[in-house]
Amino acid sequence: MFSDSLISELDRGLRAIAGVTQASRPTPLAAPSINSEASVGDDALTPEERRHVAGLMRVNHVGEVCAQALYQAQKLATKRPELRTAFEHAGKEEEDHLAWTAHRLSELGSRPSLLNPLWYAGAFAIGFVAGKCGDKVSLGFMSETERQVEHHLDSHLDDLPPHDLRSRAIVDQMRLDEIEHGQAARDAGGIELPAPVQRVMRAAAKVMTTTAYYI
């Protein structure tokens, strides 16, 4: 029943906001390398680097809170069982990202964004509206979201300290998963969103990432 599904998804959302999500996959680790940098741990990070990495990982954690909300809302909005399954699959992998980034923040002695309830509520509303605009639009929204997240993660790989291999391994695996999700959405019939919509999405993401880096 719809009410049962709604309660289940709200419970899942509350767990995401509270940071108690469990990963189904182990945290990605840096590949072995003959380069001595591969053995460098967090002790090698300067205080400034540690704060910067924590800010980036907090932004990524917020992105995963939003991803949970978007996919949960889109799953509730569609009437097609196969799309519910697709959104469920993507959401499960995003749960891994959520757990990985939360754990990394803890390792760095930092915390998730204090505004996570706000980010979740806004993303859920947007995802539900997108879902009610039709499956092709909903899938197109998923595709464009994942494309923008992919570019965002690319910028983080450029910005993270080269010797912070632990954070880089997490971000790189997240990036690979986002590429897969975006392609799956396009293969399922997602349309390309109009350019003005894409620009609004980028502007909204900019507000979120800039704020979440600090708060």
Q: According to the model, what pLDDT value does residue 9 have?
A: 65
Write out the two tokens for 111: 């915390």
CA distances from 48 to 11, 45, 144 (A): 37, 8, 33
Q: Is residue 192 annotated as involved in ligand binding?
A: no
Q: In the structure, what pLDDT confidence band is assigned to residue 117 with cuts at 50, 70 and 90? A: very high
Q: Is residue 52 annotated as involved in ligand binding?
A: no
User: Per this entry, what is the length of the chain?
Assistant: 215
Write out the two tokens for 59: 């932004």
Does the pLDDT at position 35 exceed 80? no
Range 190-198 average pLDDT: 93
Does the pLDDT at position 37 exceed 70? no
Please state, rounded to an integer, the average pLDDT across all residues of the chain.
88
CA distances from 99 to 64, 95, 106, 108 (A): 9, 6, 11, 14
Is pLDDT larger for residue 136 or for residue 35? Answer: 136
Q: According to the model, what pLDDT value does residue 40 have?
A: 56
Q: According to the model, what pLDDT value does residue 103 have?
A: 94
Rounded to 5°, the CA angle 195-200-206 comes to 125
Give pLDDT tens digits for 44-88.
899 999 999 999 999 999 999 998 899 999 998 898 898 888 888
Which of these ranges, 29-38, 89-98, 181-190, has the smallest mean pLDDT?
A: 29-38
Residue type, 109: G
Does the pLDDT at position 112 exceed 90? yes
Q: Is residue 94 annotated as involved in ligand binding?
A: yes
- Among 61, 71, 189, which residue's Cα sits nearest to residue 127? 71
Q: Is residue 178 annotated as involved in ligand binding?
A: yes
Report phi then psi at 95, rounded to 5. Answer: -65, -40
Q: According to the model, what pLDDT value does residue 36 have?
A: 44
Does the pLDDT at position 148 exceed 60? yes
**Other beta carbons less than 10 A from residue 5's beta carbon:** 13
Report phi then psi at 111, rounded to 5. Answer: -140, 160
